[in-house]
Amino acid sequence: MKLMREHAATGDRTNPFKEVLSLLDPLMAEDWQKQIGISRSKVAANCPSRSTGSSHGGSTPTSSTQARPLYDEFGNYIGPDSDVDDASDSESSAAASEYGGEAAAASQEAVPMDTTEDGAPVEQRIVLAEDKKHYPDADEVYPEAEVVFQDEDTQPITQPIIAPTKTFDFDKLEKEVPELVYDYHFLAGLMEHPSLIRNVAVVGALHSGKTLLCDLLVSHTWADRNKKLGNLDKEVKYTNFRGDEISRDITIKSTPLSLVLTDTNEKNYLLNVIDTPGHPNFQDEVTAAMRVSDGAILVVDCVMGVTDHTKRMVKHMLSEGPRMKFVVVLSQLDRLVLELRLPPEDAYFKLRYVIQELNSYIREECELMGLDKDDY
């Protein structure tokens, strides 16, 4: 390769392979010369016209070595195309002509683009994408079936998807309306005199007996005091008229009652009693009842004593100021005998302890709020 580069640089036209052969082994050089001679003799035999001289001008014939070689010094073929290529070209042209004839015959038999297979003319028009019919209709596929198309969201927004269950349940607590000690016109007349109206909220802990206390106040207005108020198995609970309150046996919403009651001087007053829930989750109902009330009745279970919810009620009543007067009612005294099995002396000390605990808590809260404890 170095000698070839030097020959190319100097412009020498001599064959660089001669110098390469001289550097190789003499035996290898003889073999290469024999192979080159054999290849040249084959080329001369295949192309005899090039071994003779030209037919023009009576020129003398030349030897095969002086004719144009078919291969260059690198072994690449530089001669004319062989007969094999000509034969393949002729075969391809014949096949193309045959295919062209068949295509021409097929084109003559083809149906024109502007007609159908039956020869009828095709109607040409612009069809929108939404008007194209790609698939058959349902009535075409199933002719015996009834196809009904309905629009979505036909149900009005006022009608719920899943309607709530309506329970039409009403318990008739009294077969006959009991006779009262006063007339309804007298009750309506007291409403015209605000000085004779008292609004009282009944508050306390859960299951402390607030609703039963309201039932006792209702029974106190009956003319027949000997009439029994329900039975021991089932309480009446006039203020619990909701279905969820009856099923859960608790008060959920505050319920007012309008009653005409008398004081110790036999003076009649219109008493609006508000029965409030005792569950801590319904504290908002108690707060709303206290805001519209002039006083409160704090119901305390003598067995449970002063609970955290009871203390919360006391603190809330004290925060209303001196206008909110309240009294304490100890309920469920029968539990001291039936459940705790306490003798009379121990039951007395139990009641005394509950009252002292409540009074001490009221004094502490009054000192913290800066209120006069004598007002309560």
Q: What predicted TM-score, i.e. pTM, was given to this entire model?
A: 0.55
- Tally of domains within the chain: 2
As a whole number, mean pLDDT of residues 113-119 equals: 66
Tell me, yes or no, whether 68 and 214 share the same domain.
no
Give residue-wise pLDDT tens across range 283-334: 999 999 999 999 999 999 999 999 999 999 999 999 998 889 999 999 999 9
Among 59-68, 123-132, 242-251, the minimum mean pLDDT is found in 59-68
As a whole number, mean pLDDT of residues 353-369 equals: 94
Give the pLDDT band (50/70/90) at residue 53. very low
**Residue 104 in domain:** no
Domain that holds residue 218: 184-375
Distance (Å, rounded) from C-alpha 6 to C-alpha 12? 9
As a whole number, mean pLDDT of residues 279-284 equals: 94
**Residue 134 in domain:** no
**Residue 161 in domain:** no
More confident residue, 35 or 59: 35
Q: Which residues have CB under 8 Å from 273's CB, separation 6+?
A: 200, 202, 214, 217, 256, 257, 258, 259
More confident residue, 109 or 131: 131
Q: Write out the two tokens for 248.
A: 């859960």
**Residue 139 in domain:** no
* Closest to 178 measured CA to CA, from 214, 211, 216, 221: 221
Give the pLDDT band (50/70/90) at residue 173. low
As a whole number, mean pLDDT of residues 90-119 equals: 58
The percent of residues above 70 in pLDDT, for the chain, comes to: 66
CA-angle at 29, arms to 24 and 34, nearest 5°: 165
Q: Write out the two tokens for 134.
A: 């790609």
Distance (Å, rounded) from C-alpha 101 to C-alpha 235? 110
pLDDT at 276: 96
**Residue 120 in domain:** no
pLDDT at 37: 58
Tell me, yes or no, whether 339 and 226 share the same domain.
yes
* Closest to 301 measured CA to CA, from 208, 214, 215: 208
Among 38-47, 136-145, 192-201, 260-269, the minimum mean pLDDT is found in 38-47
Give the pLDDT band (50/70/90) at residue 75. confident
**Residue 131 in domain:** no
**Residue 103 in domain:** no
Residue with tokens 């149900």: 155
CATH number at residue 270: 3.40.50.300
pLDDT at 60: 44
The type of residue at 252 is I
- Mean pLDDT over all residues of the chain? 78
Tell me, yes or no, whether 227 and 355 share the same domain.
yes
The type of residue at 250 is I
As a whole number, mean pLDDT of residues 73-91 equals: 68
Tell me, yes or no, whether 223 and 354 share the same domain.
yes
